Structure 1
Amino acid sequence: MKRQHKINHGWQRPSDPITPEYQREIDRSVSKAETKWRQAQKAVQRAEKAAARAELRAARKPGPETIAARDEARRLVLQRLAELREIEALMRTPTHTTPVAVHRTGRQERLEVGEYHQPRKKKTPKQPVKTSRRNP
């Protein structure tokens, strides 16, 4: 079936002339939209500043995991510094007033710092006397 009527897709209805009342209404709505947009921009800037302040506060007030990790790191650093002081003391030549002996006991793989003490003997627990009874 062939269409007899051709549709003109390029045709548009002619627009009505803009009246002064309609122009005022358009201007009012545009000004309201602009003020809303400016307020939204200011709100975004305030939110960014608040987020930056919150990040700074969070950096100042760490959480429990951060505190625990920091305390553990501090403990390890202090332990390493104590070891370093011991090593530095060993490197210095001892004077006659402060003799410090370094003994290698043989059982340990590390150096013992300080005075040598004989290791305490382990006490063996007393065991009850066992007797065997044989039936003849």
Structure 2
Amino acid sequence: MDSIENFRGRYEFLSNFYRHTIVGAGGIPYTTNEAAFQAAKTTNLLERCLIAAAPRPEEAKRRGRLITLRPDWDDSGRHIVMRAVLRAKFADPNLSRQLLATGAARLVEGNRWHDDFWGDCRCGQARCARPGRNFLGRYLTQLRTELANR
């Protein structure tokens, strides 16, 4: 297998929408990495709890668009947080084994919702004609290498 082109089906565990509880800052449990990531955008405890209470990851993402951004939430801040929530998720031995089982496959968060930052949109529209930056896939690949070298 040369490449995993989306994080659905057999590879759903790679998605930030995959249900898996991680504990974030302040001891708040989040049911997905998406919720933990969105909540990390703010220092407001009430807003973090509102995101943690979202019934679905899509709702956590929506709520994350409505919060007060922390002062250091810039390009580097979001990368630091994404790597941290991925490490927290894949600290689970079962999930880390699954990630390692992807071998040397290129990991691509292929999507149709125009996310060319964390993934690579394949919607067919002209605005998504160039390959996305795929930071999620890249960070998963880096983490897989770290786990393999332990």
TM-score, normalised via structure 1 length: 0.17
Greater share of strand = 2
TM-score, normalised via structure 2 length: 0.16
Higher RCO (Cα < 8 Å, 6 or more apart):
2
